[in-house]
Amino acid sequence: MNVGTAHSEVNPNTWVMNSRGIWLSYVLAIGLLHVVLLSIPFVSVPVVWTLTNLIHNLGMYVFLHTVKGTLFETPDQGKARLLTYWKQMDYEVQFTASRKFLTITPIVLYFLTSFYTKYDQVHSYSTLCP
């Protein structure tokens, strides 16, 4: 019997994207962001799609690729302290389902934004500043 030992992950960041329901929660959070932006008066739908895309991509860049370390005290002797969340995810294994999902999501969001803006490159300036 192992008294006083915990049976948990060394670094919880390695498996959080594989948790049950996290992908659905992620997509629902993007949808909620879009609905909140749609509720702002005097902002057109193309601008809202552009803002949704920009806010999502900026947030994911900051949280996945610039912030290093972990929120938890890990017994890995500081190894996680030097890695971004993207590198910590899935035990540093490339081409996992979570990494593919997080790679495809901004691409799909970009295609949706392009479709709803009708591929217009100047919609945000002409709509916000008439």
Query: In the chain, what are the domain boundaries?
Result: 42-122
Alpha carbons 41 and 48: distance in angstroms, whole number:
11
Percent of the chain clearing pLDDT 70 (strictly above): 86
Alpha carbons 83 and 127: distance in angstroms, whole number:
41
The pLDDT tens digits of the residues spanning 56-71 come to: 999 999 999 999 888 7
pLDDT of res. 1? 47
Q: Average pLDDT in the 22-37 region?
A: 96
Residue 67's identity, in one-letter code, is V
Assessment of whether the complete model's pTM goes beyond 0.75: yes
Alpha carbons 53 and 30: distance in angstroms, whole number:
9
Q: Is the pLDDT of residue 7 over 90?
A: no
